Structure 1
Amino acid sequence: MERSDKPDTRISLKRKSPECDDDPLSNSFSLDDLPEDLFERVLSRLPTSTFFHLISVSKRWRSVAFSASFKLACSLVPSRNPWFLMVSPNLNQSVIYESAENSWKRLNYPNLLLEDSNRSCMPVASSGGLICYRKLSGDFIVCNPLTKSCKDLPPLHITPQNQSLNAIVMSATFTSYKIVLIHGELPNLSFMVYDSNSVSGCWKDETALRKKVDDSFPESDSTHDNVAYFVSKAGYVVASGMQLERSPFKQYSSIITNKDGQEVVYFLSSFGTIVACNLTNKCFSEYPRLLPVFCEYSIDVVECNGEMLVVVLSESLESESLRVWKYDEANQHWHQIAAMPPAMSNEWYGKKADINCVGAGGRIFICLNSSDLYTYVLYDLASKTWVELPRCSINGEIMEFKSAFSFEPRIEASV
C-alpha cells in the first residue's frame, strides 16, 4: 500500500503516551490540549447526560460547566434530543425518559419544589429547557430541571368572573420565557401573560377575546345544542345534560404556535371541541368536531414542528384506533395524517383508556391509562414509525405515569 504524503490530522480523545512524543507522524492529542474556546465548543456538542457524567473527569472539565462562555457555546447548538418529564398519579416521582438513549432516569427535584408547601406542585407547561409548575395556591414556579434553578412567579390577581382556567401554555428561549393563561367560559374568554422580560415583573392585565366571525371555520354548535358534550374523567367525549370536571392530567391540555407573527393558543374545551385563541388579533374560534357526537373517544392536542395536531383514541366495530389528525385550512376539514397499525392498538379494545400526549419536534409521546392498562408510545412523524416504550422500573418497582412534558436538556436555559 502506498504511503500518503498528507499528514494524519485526526484528533484522538485519548491522551498520547510519552513514547509517541518523538514520532513525527503522530499528531494525536487529547481534549485537554485544546484552547479554552475550542474545548468548550467540543463539550457543548456532547449529549447532555454524557456531559454530566464527564464533569468529574478533572477540575478543568468541572469549571467549564459553570462558565458563562460555555453556556453561550451550548446555546449555539440548534436543538437537542428531547427528554420527557413523567408525571406519576401521586406526583411523588421525578423520572425522565431520554429519547436518544431509549432509557429512563431519575431526576432530583429542585429544593424549591421540595419545600413542604410546594410538595403538591404539578407540572402544567414546558418549553425549551424549562418547566412550569402550579402550586395548590394557584401560583406558579418556573424551573430548569437540569440546573435546579427556580423562580417563584408573582401572585395572580384574577377577576371573579374569570376564575375558570382553561389553558396554561409556555414559550421560552434561552434567556426569556412567557406564560399564557386562558380564562373564562365560552364565549366569554380572556387571557393573561407573564413575560420574564417585562420591566414591571408582574402579570399583565387580563385581555378579552372576541369570537371571530368569518368563514375560516364552520360555525361550531357546541354552545347552541341542548345537550352538552364534555371530556370525562377518563378522557372521553361524552354527550350529557351536564358538564363534568376533567381529569387533572388533561385539565390544561393546550399548546401555543407562532406562525407568520400570529401567536395562537389551542386548548380542549369542556364541550370536547378545540378552541383556537389568537393572542395577536385578540379573538378566538372553535374548530368543527372531529368525530360524530355519539362517539366516545379520548382526545388530546399537541404541537409538532410549529403546527397543531390532534391525537384521538376511539373504538369502532370491536376495534381500537389511535390516529393523528391535522386541520386542512384550505378545505376546512380534518385530515388524517397517521394511524397506528391495528396489531398494536387492538389489544386496548374495551379497556376505556385515556390518552395524554405531548409533542416534541417531529415526535409525539403518548401515555395511555385505564384501570387495567398503562403503556407509553412514541410516534415519529418523519419515519412514520410507532414504538411502544419499555416499562419503567425504579428499585425493582414498575412505575405508572399519567402524562409527560417534553423539554430540551439545556443547562443554559435561564429562569
Structure 2
Amino acid sequence: MALNDDNPSSLTNRKRKFEEKDSCILSNFSMEELNQDVLERILSWLPTSTFFRLTSVCKRWKSVAASESFKLACSGIPSRDPWFFMVDPQLNRMVVFDSAEKTWKRLNHPPLLQKSSNYSSMPVAASGGLICFRNLSGDLILCNPVSGSCSQVPLLDSPLQSQPLHAIVMNNHSHNNNKLTLAFGEFPKLSFKVYNSITNSWEEEIELHQFKDENSITDNEDNAVYFLSKAGNVVATNMQRSPCKQYSSVITNQNGEEIVYFLSSTGKVVACNLNTKSFFEYPRLLPVFCEYSIDVVECRGKMLVVLLSEFFESASLRVWWYDEVTRAWRQVAAMPPAMSHAWYGKKVDINCVGAGDQILICLNSAELFSYVVCDLVSNEWVDLPKCCVDGKSVDFMSAFSFEPRIEAIV
C-alpha cells in the first residue's frame, strides 16, 4: 500500500529531517568561506564601535578594515546612530558619547591637531562624519574623529579674517563633498563665504541685504541681555557664550533654499538665506528681561530654539519653533518642572545640538553640570550618565553631533 503524503506523522518526520539538515549546514558554515565582497558588505552593517576591533580578530578582517572597497561598502549604509563629540574646558580630551550603546568612548588625538600651533583647536561645526576645528590663528581644520584623518582648509584672505565672525556651519552632500559656510561682518552689513571641498577652494564673497518684515514689532536694542539674579534683581550683561559655541549656528534646506541661523550678540535669532542673499532677524521669544540662556539647533530640517528662562522663582527650559505662516513662536517641548527647577538661580549656560528627533543639552553653572537628551517625539527628558576619568566626573561645556563613518573623506 502506498504511503499517504498527507499523513501528519509523515509530515512531522520530514520537517524534522529538513531542520536537522539545515542545522548541520549552518554548523559547518564559516565566515571564511565568504568571498571578500560579501564579507565586506556584512561587516559594513556592524556598529561603528566594532570597527576598532576588526584588526584584532584575524588577518583577513584586518585587511578588510584597511581596504577602500570596505569603506565604499560602509558608504552605502543609509544612516548610523549619532555620536556626540563632547568639548571640555581645557580642549584636551577626545571623548564621544555613543547614542546607540549609551556609553562613553575616548578617541585618539589626530596628529594634525596635536601640533603645538593647533593644541588649542576647538570644534566649531559638524556634519555627516566630519567635525571642523578652529585654532587660535583662525585656521580651519576638517577632521574625521573615527579614522583620525585631517586636512587644513585653505586660508581666507587677510581682510576677511579681521572682520567679526558670526557663524560657521558645515553641510555634507556626500562622503567626499563637504561645504563650509562662514557669515561675518558688522550689522547690518553682513556677507558669507563658502568653502567647497571638491575644488579645495573658497568661492566668491556674497553680500547680504537685510529683509525687514513690516508686520513685525521692533524692540529697542541696547546690546545687552537681562536675567534675574538669585536675589531677584535685574542684571544686565553683554551676551557671552562658551568659546566653542560663540559661532553656534545651524543650516537647513527648505524648498531648495539653504538658510543659516545664528544668534546675534543680543540673543536674537538671525536667518541668512544663501539663495536670496538676504538676512532676517526673528522676533524675540520673550522680553529681554526674561531671557537667560538660549541656543539654536537643527532637527529634521527645522531650526529650533532652546531657551532657559526664570520666572516666578522657578526655571523653565523649553524648545520652540517659529511658524512662518502665523509669524509666531510655537512651543515644541518642555522639560518637566521637577527637572528644570533645579537650575533656578544657578546662572546656567546651555549649549545644545540636534540629532534627528533628539536634542542633547549641556547645562553648566559654577555649581552644577548635567547633560540631558530630549526626545521631541515622546517629549521624554533623560539625564546622561556622567563621564568619569580617574574616578572624577568630567565637566563638558558643549557637544557636536556627527555620524561615526570611517569612510568620510576630509
TM-based fold match above 0.5: yes
Distance verdict in 2 for CA 1:48–1:246, change over 3 Å: closer
Residue 253 of structure 1 corresponds to 248
| Structure 1 residue 142: Cα displacement | 0.3
Distance verdict in 2 for CA 1:263–1:123, change over 3 Å: same
Provide the rounded CA distance (Å) in 1 between the counterparts of 2:398 and 2:226.
Answer: 16
| Structure 1 residue 288: Cα displacement | 0.7
2:59 is equivalent to residue 64 of structure 1: no
Provide the rounded CA distance (Å) in 2 between the counterparts of 1:213 and 1:313.
Answer: 27
Q: For 2:136, what is the secondary structure of its paired residue?
A: coil
Provide the rounded CA distance (Å) in 2 between the counterparts of 1:214 and 1:162.
Answer: 31
Distance verdict in 2 for CA 1:331–1:389, change over 3 Å: same
Amino acid at match of 1:400: D
Q: For 1:377, what is the secondary structure of its paired residue?
A: strand
2:330 is equivalent to residue 331 of structure 1: no
Distance verdict in 2 for CA 1:148–1:6, change over 3 Å: farther
Residue 3 of structure 2 corresponds to none
| Structure 1 residue 42: Cα displacement | 0.9
Amino acid at match of 2:42: V
Alpha-carbon displacement from aligned partner over 1:35-86 (angstroms, at most 9, x marks no partner): 2222111101110102322331111111111212211111111110111111
Provide the rounded CA distance (Å) in 1 between the counterparts of 2:226 and 2:352.
Answer: 15
Residue 82 of structure 1 corresponds to 82
Tell me if structure 1 keeps the 8 A contact 2:83–2:99.
Answer: yes
Distance verdict in 2 for CA 1:239–1:156, change over 3 Å: farther
Residue 152 of structure 2 corresponds to 152
1:126-141 correspondence to structure 2 within 5 Å: 126-141=126-141
2:353 to 355, 358, 367: 358
Which has the greater radius of gyration?
Answer: 2
Residue 211 of structure 2 corresponds to 212
CA RMSD of aligned residues (A): 2.3
Residue 336 of structure 2 corresponds to 341
Q: For 1:227, what is the secondary structure of its paired residue?
A: coil
Residue 12 of structure 1 corresponds to none
Q: After TM superposition, where is structure 1 displaced by more than 6 Å over at least 4 residues in a row?
A: 6-9
1:401 to 389, 392, 396: 396
1:175-186 correspondence to structure 2 within 5 Å: 175-186=176-187
Q: For 2:73, what is the secondary structure of its paired residue?
A: helix
Residue 379 of structure 1 corresponds to 374
Between 342-351 and 115-124, the greater mean CA deviation after superposition: 342-351
Provide the rounded CA distance (Å) in 1 between the counterparts of 2:118 and 2:160.
Answer: 25
| Structure 1 residue 154: Cα displacement | 0.9
| Structure 1 residue 214: Cα displacement | 4.9
1:224-243 correspondence to structure 2 within 5 Å: 225=220, 227-230=222-225, 243=238
Tell me if structure 2 keeps the 8 A contact 1:231–1:270.
Answer: no
Provide the rounded CA distance (Å) in 2 between the counterparts of 1:4 and 1:324.
Answer: 61
Residue 115 of structure 2 corresponds to 115
2:285 is equivalent to residue 287 of structure 1: no
Alpha-carbon displacement from aligned partner over 1:257-280 (angstroms, at most 9, x marks no partner): 112110100000012100000111
Tell me if structure 2 keeps the 8 A contact 1:126–1:405.
Answer: yes
Provide the rounded CA distance (Å) in 2 between the counterparts of 1:167 and 1:52.
Answer: 34
Amino acid at match of 2:396: F
Alpha-carbon displacement from aligned partner over 1:303-337 (angstroms, at most 9, x marks no partner): 01111011111111111111110111111100001
| Structure 1 residue 205: Cα displacement | 2.7
| Structure 1 residue 247: Cα displacement | 3.3
Q: For 1:335, what is the secondary structure of its paired residue?
A: strand
Between 247-256 and 87-96, the greater mean CA deviation after superposition: 247-256
List gaps (5 residues or longer) in structure 1: 10-19
Amino acid at match of 2:389: I
Identical residues among aligned pairs (%): 57
Q: For 1:159, what is the secondary structure of its paired residue?
A: helix
Alpha-carbon displacement from aligned partner over 1:184-241 (angstroms, at most 9, x marks no partner): 122110001110012xx322232100112456x72543xxx26233489x9xxx985x
Provide the rounded CA distance (Å) in 1 between the counterparts of 2:106 and 2:317.
Answer: 29
- Normalised by the size of structure 2, how large is the TM-score? 0.90
Tell me if structure 1 keeps the 8 A contact 2:241–2:349.
Answer: no
Distance verdict in 2 for CA 1:220–1:110, change over 3 Å: farther
Q: For 1:313, what is the secondary structure of its paired residue?
A: strand
Distance verdict in 2 for CA 1:309–1:5, change over 3 Å: same
Tell me if structure 1 keeps the 8 A contact 2:122–2:244.
Answer: no
Distance verdict in 2 for CA 1:220–1:204, change over 3 Å: farther
2:410 is equivalent to residue 412 of structure 1: no
Aligned residue-pair number: 392
Tell me if structure 2 keeps the 8 A contact 1:82–1:407.
Answer: yes
Alpha-carbon displacement from aligned partner over 1:376-395 (angstroms, at most 9, x marks no partner): 00111223211001111012
Residue 174 of structure 1 corresponds to 175
| Structure 1 residue 92: Cα displacement | 1.1
Residue 13 of structure 1 corresponds to none
